[in-house]
């Protein structure tokens, strides 16, 4: 039966991945729709939309879905929802600060989903402003390490406003002021350097180091939050070492 149970486990994992991919696709589409509604459907004139489309393409979202989302958002096609952006704040296990960014057409459902995820996973909601001061808005561009070097990335971006370049092993993370994101991303393109994503995110001022158990708990909370269709992004001020992450990977 060992072969059978292994196949059952593999199928279960694949189902989870497929479900995640479906949710991910929906979140990309929602981002594209909102970006088109706010800044118009022209990619050349709307950098937020351009980056949302690039991210969706790199994750294999079908081009027809992308085009329909642009049309809905820009009013060329009926059916666009009235999404509102809402930020929820809270604390995870171990006092880790958590920001939850939602895009929703139903505030009550979003609030309920977020509250349930916190309470079931050792966290708690917090008052507005009690957590967000620990984060600042930053531009983050992820560059795959394959095909380039840290020196080449730094040379391309440091003169045009990048604050730092971090080596994450299989990728480089370029951090900028939020207002400099498009300029820095454009400089990478002009230097012929591919990038995986360019986003304005909430970046923690300081991070709390967690052990294996702490990482397991906070990641469980993050997974539960991201499981909601209304949640677009989750930010938390924890840091886990490569050794801790490797140990967690071995458990999967």
Is residue 223 included in any domain, yes or no? yes
The pLDDT of residue 16:
64
For residue 135 the two structure tokens come to: 């984060």
Q: How many domains does the chain have?
A: 3
Percent of the chain with pLDDT over 90: 57
- CATH code of 228's domain: 3.30.70.980
Q: Are 8 and 70 found together in one domain?
A: yes
Pairing mode, if any, of strands 238-240 and 124-126? unpaired
**Closest C-alpha to 56, from 216, 199, 215:** 199
Same domain, 27 and 144: no
Whichever domain contains 37, its CATH number is: 1.10.10.200
Q: 1-15, 26-40, 152-166, 193-207 — which is least confidently predicted?
A: 1-15
* pLDDT confidence band for 248 (50 / 70 / 90): confident
Q: How confident is the model at residue 11 (pLDDT cuts 50, 70, 90)?
A: low
pLDDT at residue 12, rounded to an integer: 55
Residues 56 and 30 occupy one common structural domain:
yes
Report d(CA 86, CA 107) in Å as an integer.
8
Answer yes or no: do 68 and 106 share one domain: no
Task: Provide the β-strand partners of residue 238.
Answer: 208
* Whether residues 165 and 109 fall in one domain: no
Q: How far apart are CA 197 and CA 212, in angstroms?
A: 28
On whether both 245 and 125 belong to a single domain, the answer is yes
- As a whole number, mean pLDDT of residues 92-119 equals 95
SS3 at position 148 = coil
Tell whether the model's pLDDT for residue 46 goes beyond 50: yes
- Within this chain, do residues 118 and 223 fall inside the same structural domain, yes or no? yes
- Residue 195 sits in the same domain as residue 214: no
More confident position, 77 or 116? 116
Return the SS3 of 126: strand
Decide which of 16 and 131 is more confident.
131
15 with 62, same domain?
yes
Question: Does residue 197 sit in the same domain as residue 210?
Answer: no
**Is residue 147 included in any domain, yes or no?**
yes
Domain assignment present for residue 79? The answer is no
Continuous segment of H or E residues that includes residue 34: helix 2-39
Q: Are residues 142 and 24 in the same domain?
A: no
- What integer best gives the mean pLDDT of the chain? 88
Domain of 120, in residue numbers: 84-133+206-251
Tokens encoding 68: 């329909």
Q: How confident is the model at residue 110 (pLDDT cuts 50, 70, 90)?
A: very high
Note whether residue 193 is domain-resident. Answer: yes
Residues 69, 14, single domain; the answer is yes
Say which residue the tokens 């507005």 belong to.
128
| Residue-wise pLDDT tens digits, 123-138 | 999 999 999 999 999 9
pLDDT classification of 6: cutoffs 50, 70, 90: very low
């Amino acid at each position: 039966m060992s072969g059978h149970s292994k196949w059952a486990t593999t199928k279960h994992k694949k189902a989870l991945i497929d479900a995640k991919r479906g949710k991910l696709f929906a979140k990309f589409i929602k981002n594209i729709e909102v970006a088109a509604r706010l800044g118009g459907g022209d990619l050349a004139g709307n950098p937020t939309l351009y980056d949302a489309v690039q991210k969706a393409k790199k994750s294999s979202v079908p081009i027809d879905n992308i085009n329909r989302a642009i049309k809905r958002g820009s009013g060329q096609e009926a059916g666009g929802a009235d999404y509102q952006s809402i930020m929820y704040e809270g604390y995870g296990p171990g006092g880790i600060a958590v920001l939850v960014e939602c895009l929703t057409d139903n505030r009550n459902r979003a609030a309920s989903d977020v509250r349930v995820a916190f309470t079931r996973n050792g966290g708690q909601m917090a008052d507005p402003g009690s957590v967000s001061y620990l984060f600042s808005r930053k531009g983050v561009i992820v560059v795959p390490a394959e095909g380039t070097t840290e020196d080449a990335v730094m040379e391309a971006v440091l003169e045009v406003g990048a604050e730092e370049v971090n080596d994450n092993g299989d990728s480089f993370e370029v951090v900028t002021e939020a207002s400099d994101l498009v300029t820095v991303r454009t400089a990478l393109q002009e230097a012929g350097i591919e990038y995986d994503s360019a986003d304005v995110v909430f970046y923690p001022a300081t991070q709390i180091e967690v052990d294996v158990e702490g990482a397991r708990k906070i990641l469980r909370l993050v997974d539960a939050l991201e499981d909601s269709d209304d949640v677009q992004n989750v930010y938390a001020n924890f840091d886990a070492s490569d050794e801790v992450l490797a140990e967690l990977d071995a458990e999967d």
